[in-house]
Structure 1
Amino acid sequence: MNYYSETRFNNWVNKIREANIDLDNAESLAVFDQMMEDLVVACLNVIRAVKERELTKKEAIQELNAMEQILMSDVSFDDTLKSDFFDFVREGLRVVVNAAKYCVEGKISKKNFNTLIKEAVEKEKKGDFEGAFDTIARMGAKVFKGEKLPEDIDVPEEGMVLNWIDGVDAINTVMLLIEIDASTESDE
């Protein structure tokens, strides 16, 4: 089973090409959120497949690596704003995939979210972007595992950490929607 295909990715790229992006209109940016949430769902399906023994951990990691390869394929837009926004979102997408890898591997940090953010910001300040990215991906793994992002999370105003947290936020959003769906179904 293919959990995320190039075709699926390219469909999103085409939707972005067709979209009329306007920074003054938040709704015009919805296509980026939808693209991110779609990837979160694909990653959740891989995680579920491991839990249900449809995939081995090794197969799941290969599947997630393939997703990351698709995300990193060369994409260009005729519009600088779309290109910049896409690059911004792609960083969040990379966090989602790497968080899923940690979740599959069972590498879940015991540190709280604010501690992880502080660590990531410190690493970014020191120029350790890989370490900062890794720390934020570990936050995402905690969310995939069922922990909710706190409302009062201490997010930086700017920098790469801010980009990456978007990926964790997308995971959190999808997890909350799944929870709402589940409670709605049990109410019926």
Structure 2
Amino acid sequence: MRHFSEISPTAERVVDAAEGLIQRHGYNGFSYDDVAQLVGIKKPSIHHHFPKKGELVAVVAQRYTHRFRQELLSIDGQHAKAPDRLTAYAALFERTFASDRRLCVCAMLAAESDSLPDAVTSEVDRFFKVNLDWLTLVIADGQRAALITSNCAAESLAEAFLCALEGSMVVGRGIRSARGPADVGNTFLSTVLT
């Protein structure tokens, strides 16, 4: 599989279109015809860049994970304390959801994991590992600094926080709620912050 940084500008436009379609419809909810229409090219041109849909979606997930990792590094550089980092983290999900109630690419893909090619599930797994590892470190730092109080292990709190944010997007879309991930994240954090 190619790395997202090695693709041509046209292929990048294909990846952009596929990302938006995944956020709205999931893996099985779009076709190369949909991508071709959005990008304004013929379907064979998409096949030239990405012979299989699984390859295209794996590149989408790979790039999404990379961008998320860059955001995590930015949060680390801008915020010293765990509560501030966690609030900024929730804001990442809020920005995605605020754009036409889009959902996290990897959460959408995870919901269909039983029908995805291995290359896609591998990238989705990597996204969640990156996020859970980072959250666990931030929460453990907050616990050591007595800013986060809980009888739960940092790993358990990390998973619960990520689930709350991802779930808030799904539920918010389903009930057309104005309450987004930032609000749900703040509610969650209010139960564990000292």
Place the TM-score, normalised by the shorter chain, in its bin: 0.3 to 0.5
Structure number with greater Rg is 2
From the two aligned structures, give the one with the greater helix fraction: 2
Q: What's the TM-score, normalizing by structure 2?
A: 0.36
Q: What's the TM-score, normalizing by structure 1?
A: 0.37
